[in-house]
Amino acid sequence: MTLTPTPSSQPVLRTFGFWLSVPLALLQAVNVVRALSDPTGFATYYGVPVSGADAVAWVQVYALRTAFVAALVAIFLVRRDLRALFWTAAAALILPLGDAWLTHQTGAAHAIVARHLAIEAYLALTCVALFIASRNAPRAA
């Protein structure tokens, strides 16, 4: 098995959706590091402050699941699999909306709720761009 892309997959690197996906994967990886290194600080940044060992453990659970998402998206990026990236982005659309709702319910600052909604808008744009790009992309092997 070779990791060299086939000639037909070269245009993937020129798609807007592919490059919009890269910061999303990086953001997830950064969130993992932040949540594991400073769970309390990350929870406050995220909009759901925590206290106590049990609550901190839940932030660490979040980090481990986010590590899975970041790794999965990274694999799809390396494989240049636009269809898998599209379906992942489409499925992920619920996450920032849920985050916005949850942080609003906990009384987080409007800026925090707005940040989650901005991530939703970016993810929706990425989803549209990936859908357009994936229509003509070759299927991954």
What pLDDT digit, counting tens, does each position of 20-70 carry? 999 999 999 999 999 999 999 999 999 999 999 999 999 999 999 999 999
Per-residue pLDDT at 56:
93
* Domain layout of the chain by residue ranges: 15-134
The span from the CA of 83 to the CA of 112, in Å, is: 31
Residue 75, classed as helix, strand or coil, is helix
Instruction: Give me the residue label for tokens 């996450």.
Output: 95
The span from the CA of 98 to the CA of 106, in Å, is: 12
Find all residues with CB under 8 Å of 75, minimum gap 6, and list them.
none
Give pTM, 2 decimals: 0.84
Q: What are phi and psi of 37, to 5 degrees?
A: -80, -30
User: Which burial class, exposed, middle or buried, applies to 134 when counting CB atoms under 10 A from its CB (0-12, 13-18, 19+)?
Assistant: buried
Q: Give the residue ranges of DSSP H helices in the chain.
A: 16-37, 39-46, 53-79, 82-92, 94-105, 110-134
* pLDDT at 7 exceeding the cut of 50: no
